[in-house]
Amino acid sequence: MNKTIYFGLLFFFLVFLQVFVLNNILFLGYINPYLYITFIFLYPLKKNRVLFLLIAFMLGLSIDLFSDSGGIHAFATLSIAYFRLFFVKVFFRKFENDYPFFKLSLEPFGKKFNYLVTLTVIHHFILFSFANFSFQNISYVLLNTLYSSLFTLILYFLGVYIFSKKQ
């Protein structure tokens, strides 16, 4: 399948999944998975980041439109999309020459795990910080960040395991 079509379908599938299924999950008042950020993890690295940042912004904005959250998803998603290359360089030691050949699925699990945890926690911390926007609620922000990040990562790794299982 053409990569453009694949990522277009992935975009719409993740928005649909997030809006109609995952936004309706709230365990114990803290846990709400945000699996739509998987698109940021899986999108290929390119030298020209403008299109990717625009797509990431549109991803967050589409979640905001359906969730009535005022742009916080767009900001959090755009933030991790912007910092993604920095963390690729830090965790995987990849440079511009390596971008066309980089695939997250081919990297060692430890490096991949650190990369995914870092971006997920940053996304969730930004998201919940702007949602609460008060130092009085810092414990609530940290609990939401911790539990939702954990649940998001569990769903991500389960999805990767289920859909990439070789028979």
pLDDT, one tens digit per residue, over 38-72 is: 999 989 887 678 999 999 999 999 999 998 888 99
Sign of CA pseudo-dihedral 29, 35, 36, 42: positive
Count: domains in the chain = 1
- Asked whether residue 1 carries a pLDDT value surpassing 60, the answer given is yes
Could you tell me the residue range of the domain that residue 37 belongs to? 3-163
pTM: 0.90
What angle in degrees, to the nearest 10, is found between the helix axes of 50-67 and 72-92?
140
Looking at the DSSP bridge assignments, the partners of residue 104 are none
